[in-house]
Amino acid sequence: MFDFCPKTLKYNLAAVYANRKEQKKQMGRKRKHSETETAAPAKKDDSAPERPKRTLLGWKDKNEDAEESKAKAASGFRNKEKVLVTCSRRISFRYRHLMLNMVSLLPHCKKDSKVEAKSSKGATLNELVELKGSSSCLFFECRKHKDLYMWMVKSPSGPSVKFLVNAVHTMEELKLTGNHLKGSRPLLTFSSNFDKDVHWKLLKEMLTQVFGIPKEHRKSKPYHDHVFAFSIVDDHIWFRNYQISVPHNEADKVARGGLDKMTLVEVGPRFCLNPIKIFGGSFGGPTLYENPFYVSPNQIRALEKRNKAGKFAKKIKAKTRRKRHELSNPLEPDEFADMWKDDE
Amino acid sequence: MSLDDDFLEDDEMNMINEDEAASDSEAESLSDSDNEITEKLAEPTKTAVYNRDGLLDKLQDISWPEDVDWTHKLTVEIDQGPQAVDVNDDLAREMAFYTQALEGTRQAFSKLQEMGLPFLRPADYYAEMVKSDTHMEKVKSKLLYEKKQMEEAEERRKARDNKKMAKEVQSQKMKERAKQKKDEIESVKKWRKQRQQSGFSEKGGGAGELDLEFSNGKSFQRGGGGKKRPGVSPGDRSGGKGKAASRMGNKKREFRDSKFGHGGRKGLSKQNTAETTNDFKGGFRGGKAGGGNKRQKR
C-alpha cells in the first residue's frame, strides 16, 4: 500500500503523507502547515522518480503532479498575518472596550498586557512584537484620559501609521443591533478615493492586511456574514461593520432575487481615524507623510481656553469704547423727557 | 480633497493660523478664520512632509504578490458618487456608508457564487457569535420597549383626538337640546296667547293644536332623551351611588385574596345572624363554617 521504493528499500511515507495532505486541501478542510506541501513534491521527485504515485483517487501521473506543484507554488501564498493588540496604561473604559471589540473581531490577533507609557515606547513595543512573533501591531494609546491615538504598525521593518481616533461607538451600544459569527472572515469594501493618492493606497494595503482574516486560520469560521466599510470622507477614514442578512436556502447560492432583498444591520464598533503621520520604520523612523490639516487636540483645547479667557477683557474694552462714543456724540435733550414730571 | 468644506470637525479646524494672529484681533478673526481654514496652503502646512517615493517603496515592500487569489484579500472597491458627502449631515453620511457596503457585498456575493464556494450561513449552523446571547436579549427588550412607547403615544394621541371630537359632538347635542326646549316653551306660550286671544271659547280647535306638540313622540322623556342609568344590583348596599370606587377596591381585594388567601372579616364571629337568634340551644355548631355566611360572600 505504501510506496515502496526499490532503490532505497524504504517506504516512501513522505510521498503518501504529502498526497494525503493535498487531498485534504482539495476537500477544503483547515490545516496548519501547508508549507511542507511545496517542499514534499520536490522531495518526492528525488526519491521515486519513475513510479506513478498512488493516491486515493487513483494513480496520478508524474507530469500532472509537476504542473500542479508549479501552480501551487505560485499560489502557495499563505497569509500568515498575526496582529498584536495592546494599549497604554491609563486608558479609559470606552477605549478599552473598543480594544476588546477589535480583539473579538480579529481572531488572528493576540492581546497583550498594558504597556508602560513613559519609557521609550518605540523600542519596548518593537521588542514585544518580535517576542510574540507577530507581523503587525495595533497599539492604542490614550493621552490625558481623553484622546485616543492608534498606531498601526507592520513589523519588522514595515511602515507605521499614527491615527487620532474619534467618534467611537463600541459594540455594546444597544442601538447597534446586528450580530455575526465570531471569527468569520469579513468582506472589505473601500471607497474609490483610496486609489487617488499614494498615502491612501499605502493605508489601504495596511488596512487590508491587518483587518482581513487569513484564509485558513484555525480560529476563523467559514461563512461570510459581515462586511467592513472603509470610506474616506473629509480626509478621515470612517469604519463601519455591518451584518449581512439575505434570504437564502443553500449555503452557496443566494435565493432568486435575494440580492435585492439584502439588508445590512450595523454591528459596530464605529470609529473615525485621522491619520497624523506615516513613518518608514516600525514605531519610528523617517517621516514619510505628515497630514497638513492635522491639529492636535491639545492645541484645540488651548485655543478654546484662550478665547474664553479673553471674554472679560473684551467686555471691558467694549464698555470703554461705548463710553467714549457717548461722550463724543452727546444725545439731544428729549422733548418728551419732562412730560410726566409735571404730574406729581 | 474637497476645498469646499468650511465646517469641519473640531480636530480638523486648522486653527494654526489663529495662533499666529495677534491676540487683539482674535475677536474679529474668529469669524474670519472659518474662511481662512478653507485655504489649504497656510504657512505651517507647507512644511508637511510628503515623500511619495518613500511611500511607494514601502507599499511595494509590504504588498502581497500580484497573483494572489481574490479569496485571500476579499476586498471590493466601490466608487463613491461625484459629489462629496457632507460630514456633518449624519443621515447622509451613514447612508453613503450603507450604500457602499451594500454595493460591495452584492459584488462580492456574485463573485463568490461564481466560484461556487459556500458563503452563506445555513440555518442550523450554531457557533459562537461576537455578541453574547444576554446582550442580544437586552437589545431585543430595548427594541420592544421603544415600539411599545411609540404605540402608546399613538394611542394617546388618538384618544385625545377622539375626545376632542366627542366634545364637539356633545356640545352640538347640548345646543340642539337647549334649542328644542326653548322652541317647545315658545310654542306653548304662543298657544296660550292664542287661546287667550280667542277667548277660551274654542275648545276643539285648541285641543287639536295642543296635540301637535306631543305628536312627535319624543317630547316627554325623563332624563333628557334616553339616558339609561345602570340598574343597581340587589345585593349592593351602597345605594347605587359609590359604585365605581367600590368596584375598583373590589378588584384589588379579589387579587389580594387570591394571592394571600382569605383573611376574613375582623370580629363578626360572635355577632348574631338571623339563624343564631332563633337558636336557643347554644348552637355552636361548626364554628367558623357557621360564621362564614355573615355577609362575607367572597
Report pLDDT digits (tens) over A266-283: 998 999 999 999 998 888
Q: Is A179 on the interface with B (CB under 8 A)?
A: yes
**Radius of gyration of chain B measured on its C-alpha atoms:** 44
A80: closest CA of chain B, how far (Å): 11
Domain assignment present for residue B219? The answer is no
Domain finish residue from B203, B234, B260: B203
CB contact under 8 Å between A221 and B15, yes or no, is no
| Long-range CB pairs of A257-263, under 8 A, 24+ apart, other chains included | A259/B106, A259/B109, A259/B110, A262/B102, A262/B105, A262/B106, A262/B109
Handedness of CA B137, B138, B139, B143 (dihedral sign): positive
CB-CB neighbours of A33 under 10 Å: 8
Looking at per-residue pLDDT, the higher value among B152 and A334 belongs to B152
Q: Which residue of A has its CA nearest to B119?
A: A223
Q: What is the pLDDT of residue A80?
A: 86
Residue B229 lies in a domain: no
Domain boundary among B121, B156, B189: B121
Q: Which residues pair with A11 in a beta bridge?
A: A4
Q: How many beta-carbon contacts under 8 Å exist across A and B?
A: 256
Q: pLDDT over 70 for what percent of chain A?
A: 76
For residue B143, the one-letter residue type is: L
**pLDDT the model gives residue B207:** 47
Distance CA A77, CA B65 (A): 8
- For residue A138, the cross-strand partners are A85, A152
Tell me which of A293 and A12 has the higher pLDDT: A293
> Picking from A50-54, A260-264, A287-291, A297-301, which range would have the lowest pLDDT averaged per residue?
A50-54
A116-125, A212-221, B171-180: the lowest-pLDDT one: A116-125
Residue B40 CA from chain centroid, whole number: 49
B10, B27: one domain: yes
Q: What is the mean pLDDT of residues A287-296?
A: 89
- In the prediction, which pLDDT does A10 show? 53
Could you tell me which of A191, A155, A169, A148 has the C-alpha nearest to residue A296? A148
Instruction: Name the average pLDDT for chain A.
Output: 80
Helix or strand (DSSP H, E) at B75: strand B75-78
Taking a C-beta distance cutoff of 8 angstroms, is the pair B55, A198 a contact? yes
User: Which residue from A105, A183, A287 is facing B49, i.e. has the nearest CB?
Assistant: A287
Of B8, B56, B61, the CB nearest to A234: B8
Question: A11-63 pLDDT, tens per residue?
Answer: 555 555 555 655 555 554 444 444 444 434 434 444 445 555 555 555 555 54
For residue B83, what pLDDT is reported? 76
Domain of residue B2, residue span: 1-63
Q: How confident is the model at residue A344 (pLDDT cuts 50, 70, 90)?
A: low
Q: Are A138 and A210 in contact (CB under 8 A)?
A: yes
- Indicate whether B117 and B75 sit together in one domain: yes
Give the span between the Cα atoms of A336 and A214, in whole angstroms.
89
One domain, residues B54 and B76: no
Task: Give pTM, 2 decimals.
Answer: 0.61
Q: Mean pLDDT, to the nearest integer, of A105-118?
A: 86
A138 in Cβ contact with A144 (< 8 Å):
no
Residues B57 and B1 in one domain: yes
Contact B130 A206 (CB under 8 A): no
Please give the average per-residue pLDDT across A324-343, as a whole number: 81
CA distances from A229 to B90, B99, B273 (A): 16, 10, 84
Could B62 and A294 be called an inter-chain contact, meaning their C-beta atoms sit closer than 8 Å?
A: no
Task: Clarify whether residues B10 and B54 are in a common domain.
Answer: yes
Q: CA–CA separation, B38 vs B14, rounded Å?
A: 9
Residue ending a domain, among B19, B46, B63, is B63
Mean pLDDT of A128-153: 90
Residues of B in contact with A201 (CB under 8 A): 55, 59
At residue A202, the pLDDT reads 92
The reply to whether B292 falls in a domain is no
Of A179, A152, A34, give the one whose Cα is nearest residue B62. A152
**Res. A313 pLDDT band, cuts 50 70 90:** confident
Q: Is A202 exposed, middle or buried (0-12, 13-18, 19+ CB in 10 A)?
A: buried
Q: Is residue B107 situated within a structural domain?
A: yes
The beta strands (E) that lie in chain A are given as: 4-5, 10-11, 53-55, 58-60, 83-87, 109-111, 136-143, 147-154, 160-169, 187-191, 226-233, 236-245, 263-266, 270-281, 284-290
State how many domains chain B has.
3
Query: Which of A65-69, A232-236, B136-140, B276-280 is predicted with the least confidence, judged by mean pLDDT?
Result: A65-69
- Residue numbers in chain B where pLDDT is lower than 50: 1-43, 206-208, 211, 290-292
Q: Is residue B250 part of a domain?
A: no
Of all residues in chain B, the one with the smallest CA distance to A264 is B102
Kindly tell me if the per-residue pLDDT of A73 is higher than 50.
no
pLDDT at A290 exceeding the cut of 70: yes
Superfamily of domain A83-299: Brix domain (3.40.50.10480)
